[in-house]
Amino acid sequence: MAPPGLTIGQAAKAAGVTRKAIRVYEARGLLTSAQRTTAGYRLYDSRDVELLVFIRRARALGLHLDDIRDVLAVRGAGPPPCPTVRDLLDDRIAEIDADVADLLALRKTLTDARQRAEDRDDDQPMAFCGIIEDS
């Protein structure tokens, strides 16, 4: 008789994640290695599912797996991890702001190149494409 618990597929469905995600979370140390049946199947309990839901929600907020592992480490040490989460969210917002600025600069470069492409004479000799070569 197998010990009580959820298989990886059942735990994944209950938490709203994939089986592959669970394996990654185990490999990255966010989730402790699951118990195994005599046949080698992983088994999870309700605490594991709660943790998987937490990880899914943290990922939905844009936190990286390393960030989530840090939050879990703070929680495991005793104090509430909310100050750490606030700092991580601030860091993530700054990353996104930088990405947006980079994308806006790239958009301007592309728009300028596209405008110059309208003014080009495509019959000019170029090795490949003058639109790119002139950029």
pLDDT number for residue 2: 46
- Residue 103 neighbours by CB distance under 10 Å: 10
What confidence score (pLDDT) does residue 4 get?
A: 66
Looking at the structure, tell me whether residues 3 and 26 fall in a common domain.
yes
Per-residue pLDDT, averaged over 110-124, amounts to 82
Q: 27 lies in which domain range?
A: 1-60
Residues 6+ apart with CB under 8 A from 56: 15, 16, 17
135 pLDDT above the threshold of 90:
no
The C-alpha atoms of residue 14 and residue 19 are separated, in whole angstroms, by 11
pTM of the prediction?
Answer: 0.79
Query: Could you read off the pLDDT of 52-111 as tens digits, one per residue?
Result: 999 999 999 999 999 999 999 999 888 899 999 999 999 999 999 999 999 999 999 999
State which of 31, 60, 89 marks the end of a domain.
60
Same-domain status, 79 and 56 = no
Structure tokens at 29: 């140390």
Domain end residue (candidates: 42, 60, 78): 60
- pLDDT tens sequence across 13-56: 999 999 999 999 999 999 988 888 888 888 999 999 999 999 99
Q: What percent of the chain has pLDDT over 70?
A: 93
| Average pLDDT taken over every residue of the chain | 90
pLDDT of 129: 79
